Amino acid sequence: MSRYPHPSAVDGPPLPEFRVGHGYDLHRLEPVAPAGAGRPMILGGVRMDSAVGPVGHSDGDALLHALTDAILGAIGQPDIGQLFPDTAPENDGRDSAEFLAEAVKRARGMGWLFCNADCTVILERPKLSPVKQEIRANLARLLGQDVSRVNVKGKTHEKVDAVGEGRAIEVHVVVMLAKELH
C-alpha cells in the first residue's frame, strides 16, 4: 500500500489515506412531457412537484449523477458517461440510483470508506427548500450512511444566464473517502 510522505509518518503512526472527489452535472429543464421534452422532476431520488423537468437519457437526476461522478472521481474510475452511455437503450429512463449503487459498490470493493458528501444544487425553480431534508435523508439512505455525513445546499443563480433563467439545473458535489493504512 502506498504511503505518501507526511511528517506524521516519520514522527508517529501513518495517517489514514484520503481521497477527495468532485462531481458536476447540468441538465436542461423543459416543460414536462407531453408539453415539452422534460422528464418528471426527480432530484436526489425525490420526486418534486414541478411543471418543468430535466431533459436526459436516464431519469435526468442531476444530483445523483454528480454524486456518482464525485465517488467515481475519488477512486479513479471511469466517469458516469463512460460506465452508463446515453446511447445505450438499457439506460433510457433508468433510475439514477442504480448508477450511484455501482459507484458505491466499486468504492467499497476497493476498500474505501465514506466520510462525507457536500452537495450544492443551483436551481431557480421549483424551490429546493421544501424537499431539501427529504433529499438529504434519501441520499444518506442510498449511500448507507448516517444523514449527518451528507449535506445538501440550495442556491439560485440570481436570474443570470441559463440556470438563472430557469432553463437548466446545475449541481456540484464534493465527497471524501478514507482508507486505513495497515
**Distance in angstroms (rounded) separating the CA atoms of residues 81 and 95:** 15
Count helices and strands (H / E) in the chain: 6, 7
Residue that has been written with the C-alpha cell 434519501 in this structure: 138
**Minimum CB distance to Mg ion smaller for 128 or for 171:** 171
Q: Do residues 27 and 168 touch, judged by C-beta distance below 8 A? A: yes
**Minimum CB distance to Mg ion smaller for 19 or for 65:** 65
Residue of minimal Cβ distance to Mg ion: 65
Q: How many whole angstroms from its chain centre is CA 16?
A: 24
Closest of 52, 57, 116, 46 to residue 81, by C-alpha: 57
Told to check if 136 binds Mg ion by CB under 5 A, we report no
- The window from 22-30, 102-110, 138-146, 170-178 that contacts Mg ion (CB under 5 A) reads 22-30
- The window from 18-26, 84-92, 141-149, 164-172 that contacts Mg ion (CB under 5 A) reads 18-26
Told to check if 39 binds Mg ion by CB under 5 A, we report no
Among 21, 25, 123, 171, binds Mg ion (CB under 5 A): 25
Q: How far is the CB of 27 from Mg ion (least distance, A)?
A: 6
- Burial class of residue 102, CB neighbours in 10 A (0-12, 13-18, 19+): middle
Percent helix, strand, coil in the chain, to 5, is 35, 30, 40
Q: How far is the CB of 124 from Mg ion (least distance, A)?
A: 18
Told to check if 19 binds Mg ion by CB under 5 A, we report no
Residues from 64 through 83 that contact Mg ion (CB under 5 A): 65
Q: How far is the CB of 51 from Mg ion (least distance, A)?
A: 20
Q: Given the rule CB under 5 A, which residues bind Mg ion?
A: 25, 65
